[in-house]
Amino acid sequence: MASNNQNKPPVLSNNITKASPSSNKKKLGVDEVTCDKEQKFGAEKMVGTANNARIRQAFSVVNGIQDLGLSSNPASNAGSECGTIEFTREDVEALLSEKMRYKNKFNYKERCENMMDYIKRLRLCIKWFQELEGDYAFEHERLRNALELSEQKCAEMELALRNKEEELNLIIVELRKSFASLQEKLAKEESDKLAALDSLAREKETRLNMERSHASLSEDLGKAQEELQSANQRIASINDMYKLLQEYNSSLQHYNTKLQKDIDAAHESIKRGEKEKSAIVENLSTLRGQYKSLQEQLSTYKASQDEAMRQKDALVHEVASMRVELQQVRDDRDHQLSQVQALTAEVIKHKELAVSSEDLEARCASQSNQIRSLSDQLAAAEEKLEVSDLSALETKTEFEGQKKLINELRNHLEDAEYKLIEGEKLRKRLHNTILELKGNIRVFCRVRPLLPDDSSGSEGKLISYPTTTEALGRGIDIMQNGQKHSFSFDRVFMPDESQEDVFVEISQLVQSALDGYKVCIFAYGQTGSGKTYTMMGKPGHPDLKGLIPRSLEQIFQTRQSLLSQGWKYEMQVSMLEIYNETIRDLLSTNRDASRLENACNGKQYAIKHDASGNTHVTDLTVVDVCSTKEVSYLLDRAAHSRSVGKTQMNEQSSRSHFVFTLRISGLNESTEQQVQGILNLIDLAGSERLSKSGSTGDRLKETQAINKSLSSLSDVIFALAKKEKKEDHVPFRNSKLTYLLQPCLGGDSKTLMFVNISPEASSVGESLCSLRFAARVNACEIGTPRRQTSMRSSESRLSLG
């Protein structure tokens, strides 16, 4: 549009200039182009009116025919300037309504000339009109174009406006929406604000309350602190007072004793004073006597003086003569006077003495007063003492109450400890049961105490027992070359644990032999580690007896108590020794003929297992037993036999394995139930290695045999652990010992191994070997123990060797 405007005005102005060269017309700007026709016409009229004078002039020029004097050549002028001649409506109307007036109607020439002139003018007028019309048409066209343009513009504008309007409407809608939302927000904000104000007010209130309560609380706190302080002060002062009182009490007691002493001293001084007093009184009386006699003397002297005076008087006359005499008498008198003076002085002295006795009396009185006050004080102190005695009594009763409480607590503690011990026992039993169910070979370790003969003790440093709850009673640490080796077993017996302590742990196992289990208990360890001590005990010390006698005692006791339940047991004992892979019957009397025969055939003591898992050793002495006495007799016999063997072979018992076997067969008459159990208690030969014993010859052979049997024992155990089901692969036959114990080592028996340890420093290597072996055994799982029970059949007794 802007470009259109720029282009068009010059065209328009050109046209206008052409059409109307007047200055007024030229002034019509682009703005007026848009005016409608009527306005234009009006404007034209106005133009006409404004230029009336000039147009009039022009018309008059056209009409100059009547006014020819003004122009010399109006026609030519009119003709040449017709383009510039302009007409107004009046001019045209005047031209049209012009009437020809003729002086001579028939002067056609004139009329024709006039007509011609008129026509000329008309033509001019028409030409002007046509020009004007053309102008108008042009103008009209231009205006239409302008109108169209402006209409277009208008339409565009309208469109734009509509778009704008729509946009604005949209904006308005949006604004309305936003207004609404803002109003909502405002409302919400206002409500929030109100709520906030509310809460603020409430908070303020609560804060005020809080502040108030805080203030009151802080006041209270201050007060309480003050009170506390004052209470503390009071406590301190009371404590001080208490201390002071105690001090005072003690000082009073001191004072009391001092007073007592003072009283005693005062009594003594009173006594002394009284003595003095009596002495003084005596003195006084003697002095009084003296005084009296002196006074008497005085009076006699006075009398004699009087007499002398009288004599003087009488002898006045004889004065002169007797002046010398008189003088003498005077001297006498003077002498007497001096004597009197002395006597009076003495009297004064005596008086003074009397005064001093009075003083003494007064002192006595004051002292008795003092004594009285002291005794008063004493009474008060005694009262205080009584009070303190009372308080002491109170504290004593309190003390007694506390003592009672302590005793009660101690009892509680004892109870709790007892419960704890019981619980521990139960736990152990449960543990044992679990282990038994798991079928482990259980391993107990026992460390013997240092013996007087042992190389002096470094035990404490070498062997220690962890005290953590986990490892308590189960762990053992051993030091070798500064290195600590830790082991843990099912139980570790420390040196101070007694035979009874050890037996308590295996009594359940022994019990299970009566229930029909095969039970096997080994003692493993180097020579001198306490195997025989553990199994048999110390000979000649009944209270130190070992597992074998204790087990048998228990079995016989239990047998007795099971009688009431209908159980009858038969028991048989056999004892043998395996030395250099040969069996020796320890109960043999060597009188049996078949035995000798077998011995010659080399069939003696052949080990045989029957189908039901029972072992039979040919020619082995088996003795029926039914009391502990019998068994102890047999044990003695075996020990004797063993010691005989020892001397015969110049050998120690520790070079052979000792096997004690108790076969138990039980029958319950009422339930027809049968059980067959075996209890094997084995004291193995010393496990020391070849290198240590430094053996040669026979000794070497023995040691090799021992090592072989022990290693085959371990082979059997490890093989059992590995190949539980395939018994073919278990090397039972590798040694007499393992072959003998085959049924008891298999999966269905309960096996326990004691590993005995010597605490001697020189044995550390062997101890470590034993512990390692035992630890390996402990890790073995052989199987689940089985009870051997059955109902009574035709074969009522076990087949026993």
Q: State the residues that interact with ligand ADP by CB under 6 A.
A: 448-449, 451, 525, 527-533, 538, 654, 686, 756
- Binding segment toward Mg ion, per CB under 5 A, in 321-329, 550-558, 650-658, 690-698: 650-658
CA 192 to chain centre: 46
**Shortest Å distance, C-beta 531 to ligand ADP:** 3
The residue of the chain with the least Cβ separation from ligand ADP equals 530
CA distances from 759 to 297, 525, 531, 545 (A): 118, 12, 14, 21
For Mg ion, give the closer residue by CB, 687 or 749: 687
**Shortest Å distance, C-beta 405 to ligand ADP:** 42
Residue 747 binding partner per list ligand ADP, Mg ion, none, with a CB distance cut-off of 5 to 8 Å that depends on partner kind: none
**Shortest Å distance, C-beta 540 to ligand ADP:** 11
**Residue 654 binding Mg ion, by CB under 5 A:** yes
Residue 530 binding partner per list Mg ion, ligand ADP, none, with a CB distance cut-off of 5 to 8 Å that depends on partner kind: ligand ADP
For ligand ADP, give the closer residue by CB, 473 or 743: 473
**Cα 50 from Cα 670, distance rounded (Å):** 165
**Cα 283 from Cα 191, distance rounded (Å):** 125
Site residues for Mg ion, 563-602, by CB under 5 A, read none
**Shortest Å distance, C-beta 689 to Mg ion:** 17
**Shortest Å distance, C-beta 612 to ligand ADP:** 34
For ligand ADP, give the closer residue by CB, 91 or 766: 766
Residue 518 binding partner per list Mg ion, ligand ADP, none, with a CB distance cut-off of 5 to 8 Å that depends on partner kind: none
Residue 742 binding partner per list ligand ADP, Mg ion, none, with a CB distance cut-off of 5 to 8 Å that depends on partner kind: none
Question: Based on the number of CB atoms within 10 Å of its own CB, is 156 exposed (0-12), middle (13-18) or buried (19 or more)?
Answer: exposed
**Cα 500 from Cα 294, distance rounded (Å):** 113
Spatial CB neighbours of 747, under 8 Å, sequence gap ≥ 6: 439, 720, 724, 782, 783, 784, 785, 786
- Over the window 601 to 640, marking each residue x when it contacts Mg ion by CB under 5 A and - when it does not, the resulting string is ----------------------------------------
**Shortest Å distance, C-beta 740 to Mg ion:** 19
Residue 537 binding partner per list ligand ADP, Mg ion, none, with a CB distance cut-off of 5 to 8 Å that depends on partner kind: none
Residue 687 binding partner per list Mg ion, ligand ADP, none, with a CB distance cut-off of 5 to 8 Å that depends on partner kind: none
For Mg ion, give the closer residue by CB, 532 or 735: 532
Radius of gyration of the chain, Cα coordinates, nearest whole angstrom: 80
For ligand ADP, give the closer residue by CB, 350 or 448: 448
Pairing of β 491-493 and β 483-488? unpaired
**Cα 257 from Cα 109, distance rounded (Å):** 198
**Shortest Å distance, C-beta 754 to ligand ADP:** 10
Residue 448 binding partner per list Mg ion, ligand ADP, none, with a CB distance cut-off of 5 to 8 Å that depends on partner kind: ligand ADP
For ligand ADP, give the closer residue by CB, 91 or 505: 505
**488 forms bridges with which residues in the sheet?**
475
Residue from 366, 389, 379 nearest 260 by CA: 379
The amino acid sitting at 577 is E
Residue 444 binding partner per list Mg ion, ligand ADP, none, with a CB distance cut-off of 5 to 8 Å that depends on partner kind: none
Q: Which residue has the tokens 């019998």?
A: 630
Residue 533 binding partner per list ligand ADP, Mg ion, none, with a CB distance cut-off of 5 to 8 Å that depends on partner kind: ligand ADP
Residue 525 binding partner per list ligand ADP, Mg ion, none, with a CB distance cut-off of 5 to 8 Å that depends on partner kind: ligand ADP
Pairing of β 673-683 and β 657-668? antiparallel
CA 430 to chain centre: 32
**Token pair belonging to 799:** 């087949």
For ligand ADP, give the closer residue by CB, 686 or 785: 686
For ligand ADP, give the closer residue by CB, 128 or 524: 524
Residue 488 binding partner per list ligand ADP, Mg ion, none, with a CB distance cut-off of 5 to 8 Å that depends on partner kind: none
**Shortest Å distance, C-beta 683 to Mg ion:** 6
**Shortest Å distance, C-beta 652 to Mg ion:** 8
- Binding segment toward Mg ion, per CB under 5 A, in 310-318, 415-423, 427-435, 524-532: 524-532
For Mg ion, give the closer residue by CB, 222 or 539: 539
For ligand ADP, give the closer residue by CB, 466 or 495: 495
**Shortest Å distance, C-beta 756 to ligand ADP:** 6
Question: DSSP readout, 343-362?
Answer: HHHHHHHHHHHHHHHHHHHH
For Mg ion, give the closer residue by CB, 654 or 738: 654
**Shortest Å distance, C-beta 486 to ligand ADP:** 22
* Residue 285 half-sphere exposure toward CB, CA atoms < 13 A: 5
**Shortest Å distance, C-beta 623 to ligand ADP:** 24
**Shortest Å distance, C-beta 508 to ligand ADP:** 21
For Mg ion, give the closer residue by CB, 474 or 531: 531
- Binding segment toward Mg ion, per CB under 5 A, in 32-40, 527-535, 643-651, 695-703: 527-535
**Shortest Å distance, C-beta 654 to Mg ion:** 4
Long-range contacts of 707-716 (CB under 8 A, 24+ apart): 708/581, 708/734, 708/735, 709/578, 709/581, 709/657, 709/685, 709/735, 709/736, 709/737, 709/738, 710/524, 710/684, 710/685, 712/737, 712/738, 713/684, 713/737, 713/738, 714/773, 714/776, 714/777, 716/745
For ligand ADP, give the closer residue by CB, 64 or 528: 528
3-state DSSP call for residue 482?
A: coil
**Shortest Å distance, C-beta 653 to Mg ion:** 5
Pairing of β 567-579 and β 582-585? antiparallel
**Shortest Å distance, C-beta 538 to ligand ADP:** 5
Question: DSSP readout, 254-312?
Answer: HHHHHHHHHHHHHHHHHHHHHHHHHHHHHHHHHHHHHHHHHHHHHHHHHHHHHHHHHHH
- Binding segment toward Mg ion, per CB under 5 A, in 76-84, 478-486, 539-547, 647-655: 647-655
**Cα 783 from Cα 762, distance rounded (Å):** 37
For ligand ADP, give the closer residue by CB, 55 or 755: 755
What percentage of the chain's residues is helix, strand, coil (to nearest 5)?
A: 70, 10, 20
Question: Based on the number of CB atoms within 10 Å of its own CB, is 443 exposed (0-12), middle (13-18) or buried (19 or more)?
Answer: buried
3-state DSSP call for residue 498?
A: coil
For Mg ion, give the closer residue by CB, 488 or 654: 654
Q: At what angle do helices 108-314 and 319-438 cross, to 10 degrees?
A: 140
The answer to whether residues 615 and 609 touch, using CB atoms and an 8 Å cutoff, is: yes
By CB under 5 A, the count of residues binding Mg ion is: 3
Residue 528 binding partner per list ligand ADP, Mg ion, none, with a CB distance cut-off of 5 to 8 Å that depends on partner kind: ligand ADP
**Cα 587 from Cα 552, distance rounded (Å):** 17
For ligand ADP, give the closer residue by CB, 197 or 451: 451
**Token pair belonging to 346:** 């003495």
Q: Which residue has the tokens 């010659």?
A: 600
Residue 451 binding partner per list ligand ADP, Mg ion, none, with a CB distance cut-off of 5 to 8 Å that depends on partner kind: ligand ADP
**Cα 311 from Cα 127, distance rounded (Å):** 231
Question: Based on the number of CB atoms within 10 Å of its own CB, is 688 exposed (0-12), middle (13-18) or buried (19 or more)?
Answer: buried
For ligand ADP, give the closer residue by CB, 529 or 676: 529
Site residues for Mg ion, 69-108, by CB under 5 A, read none
**Shortest Å distance, C-beta 655 to ligand ADP:** 10
* Contacts with Mg ion, residue ranges (CB under 5 A): 531-532, 654
